[in-house]
Structure 1
Amino acid sequence: MRSKGFTLIELLVTLVIVGILAIIAIPSFTEQVAKSRRSEAMRGLGDLQLRQERWRASNTSYGTYANLGSPTVPNYTLTITGISATGYTLTATRANAQSSDRCGNYVLTVAAGVATKSLSDGSNASNCNWP
C-alpha cells in the first residue's frame, strides 16, 4: 500500500525552483518600483514648471514655493533655486525609499526660455529616462 503525500526530494526540488524564481523576480520588481517613483519625480517637476510659467505670465519674475504651492512627491524633495526674471532651477532630490536610487537627483533648469534636463549625484544614469 502506497502512502499519500510528497516525498522529501519532491519538496526540496519545489523549494529550489521557488528560490530560483525569487532570485530572478525580486530585483526586477524592486527596479520597477524605483522606476515608478522616478516617474513621480518627473511628473512633480513638470507640474512645478507649469506652475512657474503660470506665475511668470502675471508677474515680473518666477515664483517661490510660497507663491506657487508645492506638488507632493512622496520619495523626492522638490526645491526651487536661482529664481530670476528669466529663469530658475528645479531639483527633485532623492529621499525616503528612493535615497539610494542609482539614477540620482533630477534637475530642470530654465534659462531665457530654454529648459535643460540633467541628473546629479547618480551612480548609474543608464535607463533613467531623463533627459
Structure 2
Amino acid sequence: MNVFTLRRKARGFTLIELMITVAVIAILAAVAIPSYSEHVRKSRRAQAKADLVELAQQLERFHTVQNTYSGMSLPFTESPRDGKSYYTLSLSGAATSSAFTLQAVPGTGQDKDKCGTLTLDQAGRKTPTEAKVAGCW
C-alpha cells in the first residue's frame, strides 16, 4: 500500500453514505412526528376530560346544598388551568334546576383532534360516544 491510498481512505464520508443517513433520518422523522403529535393531543384531551369531571362534581355538590344547578358559576373556564389553554370549558346553555351540560371546546393547538367538542351532562352522558368516535372517552 502506498501513502496515497491510505490518505484517500481516511478523508471522511462519501456523498452516498451521507445521503443514505439523511434518508434514514427523514423516514424515522416521517413516522415519529405524527405519532408524537397525536400523543400530545390525546394527553391534552385527557386533561380536558378530567376538568369536565371535576366541574361536574362541583355542580353536584352545589345541587346537594341548593337543590338546583342554576346559579353556579364555573370556577375555571380553561383547560389546563395554568399555561396555554387548549380547551375552553363552559356550560352548554344555561343550567336548570335539574340539568346541566358541560362542554370542552378545542382551541388553537387542539383543533386537529378527532374528538372535537367534548360534553358531559348531569346523568353522566358523554359525547362524542364511543360508537361514533373510538377513544374519546
TM-score grouping bracket, smaller chain normalisation: 0.7 to 0.9
Q: Identify the residue that residue 127 of structure 1 maps to in structure 2.
A: 135
Q: Identify the residue that residue 69 of structure 1 maps to in structure 2.
A: 75
Distance 2:102 2:135 in 1: 21
| Bigger Cα Rg | 2
Which runs of no fewer than 5 residues in structure 2 stay unpaired? 1-5, 80-84
Higher strand share: 1
Establish whether residue 105 from structure 1 lines up as the match of residue 117 from structure 2. yes
Q: Identify the residue that residue 23 of structure 1 maps to in structure 2.
A: 30
Q: Identify the residue that residue 42 of structure 1 maps to in structure 2.
A: 49
The sequence identity of aligned pairs, in percent, is 34
Amino acid at match of 2:105: T
For residues 16-46 of structure 1, the C-alpha deviation after alignment (integer angstroms, 9 at most, x for no partner) is 1001101110110010000001101101101
TM-superposed deviation, 1:63 = 4.5
TM-superposed deviation, 1:71 = 5.5
TM-superposed deviation, 1:75 = 0.6
Distance 1:49 1:64 in 2: 14
Structure 1 length-normalised TM: 0.83
Distance 2:117 2:52 in 1: 11
- Equivalent of 2:14 in 7, 15, 26: 7
TM-superposed deviation, 1:3 = 2.5
Q: CA RMSD in A?
A: 1.9
Aligned pair count? Answer: 122
Structure 2 length-normalised TM: 0.80
